[in-house]
């Protein structure tokens, strides 16, 4: 059985207190208004949430932080509001970590301090209109002109890409062709405000309405050659590695969703009176909530296991899992937790009956928010493909 340390439990309590005090009272109104609370994001930075995987030299928490702590923070934010959970997840897993992992010293010094402090956000520009799960089908191009990259193309569904405090977006682009004829894909950092880079109007989304999500366009957008992130031609591989971590973080967000739905369903089933007693005494209701509890515990165990594996690898611990083992664990956690969250929100909404269909009850917001969990950071179909390949099956 996986048990958290006292330090992790204390950290969980501090994040929970923050979320319940600073986000909980406003989440419904922010959701209705599609409002992105910049000051709360900055407060998350002051609490140290953006720096949980970053070293002290860039303002991070250093040895006091780890990937499991990040997952706990995402879970606790997501228990109150899923949009704020994904804001943190994307800020760290997709914004900070690629620069931290692949950036050169001067790139880290330029961008990480503001990102780690929560004074700025970064986006991760991978998905395109014709390249979602098939990220290798990237059409955005970047060509060298002297000492500058000239970028042309479009990205879509990019989180934290057009907020008032977004400072950079890292994008994948074709920078040539490989010897085998396949496209050479590289990653390039594009600062906000660069001529030719436009964050188009935000999407009108079914869920995650508080989070910042935009389509992006690049028309003759020029950035210095030195803004290439990592090695030329390694952008696709870099982002695949980034997504492994992101899948575990999305699983943590799903755990927060399940926890919220379990809590709401239990409370409502104990209060709602029909036929002379609470509906929770009816087996038809009680058994569904029991199933929800099973999904919650299993999802949390899978997620924490994968996060602990990541931390063991990062520390170089004796007996640490291989990258292949971690990839498999990440896919399993992501698949099970996110599909469980979708089922769990349906159960909770059903427990509430007609009230579950009313926006005045938070369960409706969680119901809307859950579906994207099965899509973002690799669809359920992609996770099943990865798991099958990990078992040695030649699936395409």
- Closest alpha carbon to 327 in 233, 237, 254: 237
CA separation for the pair 247, 173 (Å, rounded): 22
SS3 at position 247: helix
Phi/psi for 39 (5° steps) reads -65, -35
Are 213 and 135 contacting, i.e. CB atoms less than 8 angstroms apart?
no
Give the alpha-carbon dihedral of 155, 159, 161, 166, to 10 degrees. -160
CA nearest 87: which of 131, 132, 121? 121
Q: Are 213 and 157 in contact (CB under 8 A)?
A: yes
Structure tokens at 368: 């809307």
Residue 377 annotated in active site: yes
Q: List C-alpha distances in Å: 326 to 121, 194, 329, 367.
A: 27, 37, 5, 30
> 178: left (phi > 0), else alpha (psi -120 to 50), else beta?
beta
Catalytic entry in 75, 76, 128, 377: 377
Tokens of 261: 């739905």
Q: For the CA atoms of 101, 103, 108, 114, what is the dihedral angle to 10 degrees?
A: -70
| Residue 187 near residue 171, CB atoms below 8 Å | yes
What are the phi and psi torsion angles at 194 (to 5°)? -65, 135
CA distance 73 to 67: 10
Helix (H) or strand (E) holding 155: strand 148-159
Say if CB 50 and CB 118 are below 8 A apart. yes
Cα separation, 378 vs 93, in Å, equals 14
Distance CA 335, CA 154 (A): 28
Q: Which residues form the catalytic set?
A: 377
């Amino acid at each position: 059985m996986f048990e958290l340390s006292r330090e992790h439990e204390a950290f969980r309590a501090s994040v929970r207190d923050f979320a319940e005090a600073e986000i909980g009272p406003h989440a419904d109104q922010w959701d209705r208004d599609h409002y992105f609370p910049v000051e709360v994001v900055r407060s998350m930075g002051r609490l140290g949430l953006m720096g949980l995987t970053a070293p002290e030299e860039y303002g991070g928490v250093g040895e006091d932080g780890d990937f499991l702590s990040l997952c706990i923070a995402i879970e606790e934010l997501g228990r109150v509001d899923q949009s704020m959970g994904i804001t943190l997840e994307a800020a760290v897993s997709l914004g900070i970590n690629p620069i931290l992992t692949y950036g050169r010293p001067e790139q880290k010094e330029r961008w990480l301090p503001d990102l780690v402090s929560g004074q700025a956000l970064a986006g991760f520009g991978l998905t395109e209109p014709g390249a979602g799960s098939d990220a290798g089908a990237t059409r955005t191009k970047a060509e060298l002109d002297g000492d500058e990259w000239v970028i042309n193309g479009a990205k879509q569904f990019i989180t934290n890409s057009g907020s008032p405090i977004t400072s950079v977006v890292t994008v994948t682009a074709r920078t040539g062709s490989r010897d085998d004829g396949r496209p050479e894909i590289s990653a390039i950092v594009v600062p906000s405000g660069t001529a030719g880079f436009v964050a188009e109007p935000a999407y009108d989304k079914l869920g995650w309405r508080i989070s910042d999500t935009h389509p992006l366009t690049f028309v003759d957008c020029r950035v210095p050659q030195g803004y290439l992130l990592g090695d030329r031609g390694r952008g696709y591989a870099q982002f695949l590695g980034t997504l492994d971590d992101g899948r575990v973080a999305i699983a943590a967000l799903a755990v927060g969703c399940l926890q919220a739905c379990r809590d709401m369903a239990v409370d409502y089933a104990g209060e709602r009176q029909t036929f002379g007693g609470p509906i929770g005494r009816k087996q038809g209701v009680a058994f569904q909530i029991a199933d929800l509890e099973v999904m919650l515990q299993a999802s949390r165990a899978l997620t924490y296991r994968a996060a602990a594996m990541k931390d063991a690898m990062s520390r170089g611990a004796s007996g640490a899992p291989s990258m292949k083992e971690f990839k498999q664990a990440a896919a399993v956690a992501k698949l099970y937790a996110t599909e469980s969250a979708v089922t769990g929100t349906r159960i909770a909404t059903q427990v509430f009956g007609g009230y579950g269909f009313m926006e005045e009850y938070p369960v409706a917001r969680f119901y809307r928010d859950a579906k994207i969990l099965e899509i973002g950071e690799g669809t359920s179909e992609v996770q099943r493909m990865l798991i099958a390949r990990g078992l040695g099956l030649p699936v395409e």
